[in-house]
Structure 1
Amino acid sequence: MIKNNWTREEIEEIYNLPFMDLVYRAATVHRQFNDPQEVQISTLLSIKTGGCPEDCSYCSQAARYHTDVKVQKLMELDEVLSAAQRAKDAGSSRFCMGAAWREVRDNKDFDKVLGMVQGVNSMGLEVCCTLGMLTESQAEKLKDAGLYAYNHNVDTSEEHYEDVISTRTFADRLNTIDNVRKAKISVCSGGIIGLGESDGDRIGMLKTLANMPQHPDSVPINNLVPIKGTPLGDQEPASIWDMVRTIATARILMPKSMVRLSAGRLDMTYEGQTLCFMAGANSIFSGDVLLTTPNPAVKNDQELFQILSIKPREAFKDSKKASVEFQVTPTAGKALGIEEVTV
């Protein structure tokens, strides 16, 4: 059952199920709503790196922290399109572009990003962006340029949020997500575990996502990758058991969403990743680097997919499915008063 009014008690009951029971229940829900042998492959490229004015405690790109990340200006269009082509050739169906901005500004850089969106869209890839906060009009411009999805994570629970970030509020994040949804852009929103949060914070984060007016189309679940020089540089990442438990709960709460096994995969064994897929993860980021953090090599993902008989999800599958579902036969068209029907 799809619902958007989960109570904390209901989510706690699911999250705290015995591990094997939780994975079994999540796997059952996953098979009801998704092809368990299909995984979406996405590629994430940092098109503008470093120099961000925010203070996200986990992020290597914050200007105030002393990390190994070097500030780089916005990439040129031809560089981005070349990277997108390589991603497509490697099997990706979605190409996401990230810029280390606090918010989008209406300037020449944003115009360049709109050109990138148009270019990647023309290649037959689902194009996604994560650029910080957006206004309604900026979201509309991205939509008009061909943007398919926009990523804006809530990161953690509302209660724990101020312990992680102070330069923008939890409400700011929800406002951007609302602007994306108003523009009819696919919403990609999830969070990070391993930020020093409690199980209650993870439950709170999932409650926020699952009780949105519409579930996010994609829900990335990241495990902290500690970066030296950041406030969380010495923090221990969450265990694989916590990752699986969070993914399984997300799958049960949001049955139709793509649940993405995101940052932190480099330290996971094949067996650990397999548990995540069993629990309902059906999307990954492919490529050696996620923005500025390491990720498994493409050949390793291809090997794991072969072992598990997993096939990559095709681009725009939901859009194609919708167009088939809403086709009208000539007989039905006459009954509805439609004179001309294209089938």
Structure 2
Amino acid sequence: MSTEIDSAPSSLESSVDSRERDFDQLASDVLEGKSISREDALAILNCPDDEILSLLAAGFRIRKRFFGKTVQLYFLMNAKSGLCPEDCHYCSQSKISDAPVPKYNILKRDKLMDAAKIAAEQGAKTYCLVISARGPNEREMTAVETIVPEIKQKYGLDICACLGLLTREQADRLKACGVDRVNHNLNTSEDHYADICTTHTYADRVQTLRHVRDAGMEMCSGGIIGMGETHDDIVSMAMDLRDLGVQSIPLNFLNSIDGTPLQGKKDLSPQDCLRALAMFRFVNPDRELRISGGREIHLRSLQSLGLYVANSVFVGDYLTTKGQAPEEDYQMVRDLGFEVTTSVGD
């Protein structure tokens, strides 16, 4: 996996800005099986605002080839909140955060089952079980191994576990109990990583993804846009995810929470978010691309445009922040003429 960063991103971004790009031709190249270059990816991120609709139309050709007009819904459950020993600067649950978030150990069976019932009722295909931790302890592993088979048997939901850093033995145990995929985000580029976390490394995260892959589960991994990274950093992350073979990519937009080191940081426009989503689709054409945290804040009234390149969204709330009402998401999908991929029969 290559994670080299261009030595002069500012001059490269400037030169890309001055060149026109035929995004429709670029989409045709992707549909013929060609991988786009770093230069082309940067051109997408530098697409002028008045050309964004053309960019999205080109990206929709790729999305439609692989996913039609379907949208998959994910439901997120914060099964353990706060109490995390890591120092991820964006996270309200980290040890350096002063944000007033709930703090509790892994929830009991009844609450996890109640949340699974809500996920099924809201039309979600995947139930995401998340804990705040460096990695799961034995009690947490046992709780997951116990609840996953019951959820799958009763509600037919796919299960995505987000438990922090994993050993190969832990990954094997998750596979054995029925976990379908594991989420572990790269979050940003290798070069930018030390600026957002010091208690573990980018390489640690990559190693966890390799354990997940080797155990035979799908990899769910994406990142957060808006943490002070360069365009080159965003492209590097997208290409690293491609090279790792990640099947599902959640793209978050920083929700700067008071009490965290990144509080007050609001650098993104709706157009920036759309450009990033489009670039990830061109780089990872046949991979599930999910519009994730921060979409309501940063995309605002342009959220629906994101689904011309992305093919899934979280429905309901996030870990410690609120999302929009599920009915608004269903209406958005209907208004586009798209359809939700349900959890039964797909």
Q: How many residues align?
A: 312
Alignment of 1:12-31 (within 5 A): 12-17=42-47, 18-31=51-64
- Partner residue in 1 for 2:193: 161
- Partner residue in 2 for 1:291: 319
The AA in structure 1 aligned to 2:145 is L
Alpha-carbon distance in structure 1 between the residues aligned to 2:267 and 2:116: 30
Deviation at 1:7, TM superposition (A): 4.5
Aligned counterpart for 1:133 among listed residues 141, 144, 165: 165
The AA in structure 2 aligned to 1:158 is E
* Distance change (3 Å), C-alpha of 1:308 and 1:10: closer
Deviation at 1:91, TM superposition (A): 0.8
Alpha-carbon distance in structure 1 between the residues aligned to 2:238 and 2:151: 31
Alpha-carbon distance in structure 1 between the residues aligned to 2:36 and 2:337: 34
Task: Tell me the SS of whatever aligns to 2:73.
Answer: strand
Structure 2 gap ranges (5+): 1-29
Q: Say if 1:12 and 1:203, in contact at 8 Å, map to a contact too.
A: yes
* Distance change (3 Å), C-alpha of 1:117 and 1:102: same
Alpha-carbon distance in structure 2 between the residues aligned to 1:277 and 1:242: 15
- Partner residue in 1 for 2:310: 281
Deviation at 1:64, TM superposition (A): 2.5
Q: Does 1:54 align with 2:116?
A: no
Alignment of 1:36-75 (within 5 A): 36=69, 38-75=70-107
Alpha-carbon distance in structure 2 between the residues aligned to 1:177 and 1:52: 20
Alpha-carbon distance in structure 2 between the residues aligned to 1:268 and 1:197: 17
Show CA shifts across 1:219-242 (max 9, x none): 111000111010001111522111
Scaled by the length of structure 2, the TM-score of the pair is: 0.85
Q: Say if 2:273 and 2:298, in contact at 8 Å, map to a contact too.
A: no
Q: Say if 1:11 and 1:207, in contact at 8 Å, map to a contact too.
A: no
- Partner residue in 2 for 1:32: 65
The AA in structure 1 aligned to 2:107 is M
Show CA shifts across 1:262-304 (max 9, x none): 00122256641121011x11111011x2011111111211222
Q: Does 1:117 align with 2:145?
A: no
Deviation at 1:310, TM superposition (A): 2.4
Q: Does 1:312 align with 2:324?
A: no
Q: Say if 2:270 and 2:300, in contact at 8 Å, map to a contact too.
A: no
Computed over aligned residues only, the root mean square deviation of the Cα atoms, in angstroms, reads 1.9
Alignment of 1:121-200 (within 5 A): 121-122=152-153, 123-200=155-232
Alignment of 1:181-330 (within 5 A): 181-212=213-244, 214=245, 216-267=246-297, 271-278=301-308, 280-287=309-316, 289-315=317-343
The AA in structure 1 aligned to 2:264 is D
Moved segments of 4+, more than 3 Å? 1-7, 13-18, 268-271
Q: Say if 2:296 and 2:324, in contact at 8 Å, map to a contact too.
A: yes
Task: Tell me the SS of whatever aligns to 2:84.
Answer: coil
The AA in structure 1 aligned to 2:160 is C
Alpha-carbon distance in structure 1 between the residues aligned to 2:67 and 2:332: 20
Range with bigger deviation, 71-80 or 17-26: 17-26
Deviation at 1:305, TM superposition (A): 2.1
Alpha-carbon distance in structure 1 between the residues aligned to 2:95 and 2:118: 30
Scaled by the length of structure 1, the TM-score of the pair is: 0.86
Identity, % of aligned pairs? 33
